[in-house]
Amino acid sequence: MTPSSGSSDALYGAPRPRRSQRIWWLLATVVVLAFELTLLWLARTPRVDDHYRRYFIEHATTCYRPMGEVPILTPGERYPIRKGEPLGNCGVLWAGFYSPQPDVPVSARLAEVTLRLRVAPEVSPAGSQAVVVALELSRFPDSATALPVEVMIGEQTVTRWPVGGRYERFEVEVPAALIASDGSFSLTLKGPPPIAPRDAGLDANKFPVGLRLDALTLRSPLGLTPARAQP
């Protein structure tokens, strides 16, 4: 006697699903899989602004957004650029700089970084007087050969510096026309891509390091000697 289909289903457990049921299960599986892939894609490429991306995802800066006062700088005074110093707050180092420790110069985790600076109105009344900015600057690692670093004030490129692994003092004259009436201006440095210490074989640190900024000084434009500047 040939067993019936019902007895066969009873022999092997639950009844077999119908063809229509199998199609619905397949469609449900496809929908869930598509949803999971969408979540993975959004997690990998989130739609966030540049501030959020630099701070939370790329760890390219210790400052989430510009905050704090931009201090008024006195010509002739040397300002260390450190965490906890006047030129180490997030009002100044707001784009790409990383300030790890109070005794370590700030470094750049992006190829392009910006400083927000300000001089007293009497130094450049209503933007009528040029100012010289001197930076003590180097590039990671200590053995790095000198490569050009483009210096921009606002949107205008004013000079290029050959920056290597040893700290040197570089100077640039900020034209009066590029200084706002309140004495503020921005200084942007565009250098070679940063390199991670791990990739340089120095330690296990995976975060990239580029330019290293030790100190800043302002002075009068009289006596400017741009021997290290490139056209």
DSSP summary character for residue 198: T
Helix, strand, or coil (residue 151): strand
CA distance 210 to 108: 5
For residue 101, the model assigns a pLDDT of 72
Q: What is the pLDDT of residue 173?
A: 93
**Res 225: pLDDT:** 43
What residues does each domain of the chain span?
16-44, 60-219
C-alpha distance from residue 26 to each of 29, 74, 190 (Å): 5, 72, 53
pLDDT at 68: 73
- Which one-letter DSSP state was computed for residue 167? -
- Which secondary-structure segment (H or E) carries 112? strand 112-118
pLDDT at 17: 61
Both structure tokens of 68: 């704090």
User: Does pTM top 0.75 for this prediction?
Assistant: no
Quick one: which of 162, 137, 111 has its CA closest to 212? Answer: 137
d(CA 151, CA 213): 14
What kind of architecture, by CATH, is found in domain 60-219? Sandwich (2.60)
The residues, any chain, with a CB within 8 Å of residue 215's CB and separated by 6 or more, are 78, 79, 80, 81, 105, 135, 136
* β-strands 106-108, 211-219 pairing: antiparallel
Place of tokens 């490569």: 147
DSSP 8-state code for residue 193: P
- Which stretches within 16-90 are classed as H helix? 19-44, 50-52
* Distance between CA atoms of residues 137 and 215, nearest Å: 8
The tens-digit pLDDT sequence of the chain (231 residues) is 455 555 555 555 556 667 777 788 888 888 888 888 877 776 677 777 676 776 777 766 667 666 778 889 988 999 998 888 888 888 788 667 777 677 788 888 888 888 889 988 777 776 578 999 999 999 999 999 999 999 998 888 999 999 999 999 999 999 988 888 888 899 999 999 999 888 888 888 888 889 999 999 998 886 444 444 444
CA 230 to chain centre: 25
